[in-house]
Amino acid sequence: MDLVNCTNCGSIYVKNPIRDICDKCYKEEEQAFDKVNSFLKQRQNRTASMIQVVEETGVEEDLILKFIRKGRIRLVNFPNLGYPCEKCGKPIQRGRLCDRCAKEFKSELEVFEQEQERQKEIAERQVTYHAIDEKYRGKR
């Protein structure tokens, strides 16, 4: 039995492998999720932006993003919701990077791989020569 501090409120609770928060905070999160989910289920709210969802539900953006990251809110149904790209912060709906940052990352990786290959080829071409002193040549 491990005792840990709740990442939300700091209170001590028995560690749970499923959650990183205490039961009290978990219940509050569930209520917030229900509020957001109910709001988004309404047909007229399916095109709401993150700002609109926050304003209408009173639920903090960070908590809504947590629901999205955990897959509790599926963005495929809500075209104007998103979460920030991990590099530039631009709103995205899938993956960890926006298209521009993903292309940039891929390009940088290709350059790195080419440089690694070039270094390998240079190392393979280098030949080591050994000089043998003439006076030891015939003696073994």
Q: What is the pLDDT of residues 69-84, one digit of tens each?
A: 888 898 888 888 888 8
Q: Coil, strand, or helix at residue 4?
A: strand
Neighbouring C-beta atoms of residue 87, cutoff 10 Å: 14
Q: What angle do CA 122, 106, 71 make, to 5 degrees?
A: 140
Residue pair 102/93 in contact by the 8 Å Cβ criterion: no
Using one digit for the tens of pLDDT, what is the confidence trace for 31-46? 999 999 999 999 999 9
For 1-140, strand residue ranges (E) read 3-5, 12-14, 83-84, 91-92
Global pTM?
Answer: 0.66
- Name the E strands within 27-107: 83-84, 91-92
